[in-house]
Structure 1
């Protein structure tokens, strides 16, 4: 059995220094961030191009939803496995291999679309393969980043990752929409190349990425390792709440994304307009990344979670009612602004309290739970939109979000994070500090 620790093992010469330089002077991190930005830009283009390809080739929101569902199901199928692999085998090899497999898979889409062969079965299969690769590489990247960044910089790490994603959303969709208008295969070519760049970035990291030899030998099987990760989550009140509430919230957001694209098309917007409107929403996300440290210093986590949950209900109603594409973009910007600071705090908290030896499994289990219902969102909302209209489908999503907001408001579990907020600099242990492995009654 792996010993559960509240802190990592003592630093060695291969680990980040106790008083590290700024993130951007950390060669390993800066190189990874740049290469991952390129990959995120490619993914932002293809994530827009996939539904556009289905919508304009088949004129069906439901078929576009099938592709989105296959991407999510693929990730779900390997999420837990990826966590076990990340804590037993070379994380570097896992991430690089997953990126290269995706590069080859997306290249087949380039060839097919360039030759006028657009088949929902083929596109869905490629989306499924990409989802499988994402499940493995995603589980390996969380403990990988913990190896190259000092604990005191975890909040900055999480914020910079969110900022990277927002930059990709700012640039990727309008570029992808414009390129799609020129030739439908070009955005997919860009995505294929970006995976190669990402693989090079991870391969170039100098610091050992783990897992350590002792940790690899600590468990007899992947199944036993998975059970340990799940048991670790069960010991924490907040994490138990998270694995139920977040999947429902993520599924609702997933449905909103597809319906927003369909609403823009319904309001008269073309592919380029979809990209521009998505960029407007990403501006809100970039603002959220910049505001996250400030918000975390002045508000409790539970306050931010509840506020976000209720405001997103209003956002969904606003999206259904907005008569013009640019108004849809403004409302979407508010939604993304609300979500980003929450993501920053959740990720930095997770990096701080979960031991390196278990981080792959715990992160994979949380990711698996959050994606558990995500695959149903594009299918359900697509069918609702085709049969009852896109605005009505968006209002149904708003109703689900309202139910989740009520639950969040009444729940006690989110108070767990307020006992030790990762954004706050700790000067040392105190009697109130609790690790996720503690079984403690809270008022």
Structure 2
């Protein structure tokens, strides 16, 4: 603990030397729906926290709904006195914020690694999964890919408008994969990439996707799964900020247009043993097949994580590369679990089902649990799509059905934590019911 405090204190002091104009730092963490919450601290108080002063925030901040409200979940929120819970600073995450009008810093905080971690905090859920795998001699290497849309900054009666091409001042309303789109929007995309790098994120490939104003960013592979999820979370925050600075809105909404492709969160995962050998490639790739089988078996029971809101379910079975059933295949983008072509050293799965607005900590935790379960069970998967285009098993396509499928699955409860599963499912159920408490204009058109 003394060593960590010394490291944190050095990090804060170095930051103050390099950024003397920064007076405040946002201490932030991701809640269950995938939004950042936290507090803005004066830099001098942050130094005291780094030196060992307690850092406490309300425990129930993790339970906020999509709109920020609290739901009654068991004894939480309304019968527990809304207690504080200890947090800690995450080393290496104190970075400058360049998209705000005033100099500012930000730093991740978490309850994992404290004396009493919050069982349903997303980062703590992933931490437990990673720790269990490490004890078993399994070391994941992870890379995220995130798709998002650019919209015009101004909404039209609450509806998004196509982003304007800065060269022609015309709306970018044509779906295409043309490389020229990267040039036309290079100013904002370059700023997004550089800002992400300033946050310590390894940005690799940038792609113009099929939807109008849609792009994809790939991150480098990491042998630290937690850090990989941190990168995905922080990228979403910085990208939205940079877009606003340039007169756009960046959105990771799963399905903003019904007629165009949705935005996904693709996660590449390979598993290595303590000697650095790729476990999935051993014994003529038999462990790969077992891992795939485990992923597909648990996938229908993790749908509230992969599709965390009403809109995310709209993306499933969409226009391009969005599966309607739990399936897998080699070099097949129609599959939920794709096996990219690679040499044995880099053999991996690409999990393609999650929406871009899903919580990256929970998505990775659910994927790893599926792989772990598959390796333990040792079952053969169903036929890949390369052999049978109709291969696949059904998964829930509505939130309430998905919650029921998740809440009572014994493997999911055991490996993700029963307390987390109960809290998460009730949070999703209440969010879904709250969403239904508004009459849409279409209802009046149809039934008035």
TM-score (norm 2): 0.29
The structure whose residues are more often strand, as a share, is 2
The structure whose residues are more often helix, as a share, is 1
TM-score (norm 1): 0.29
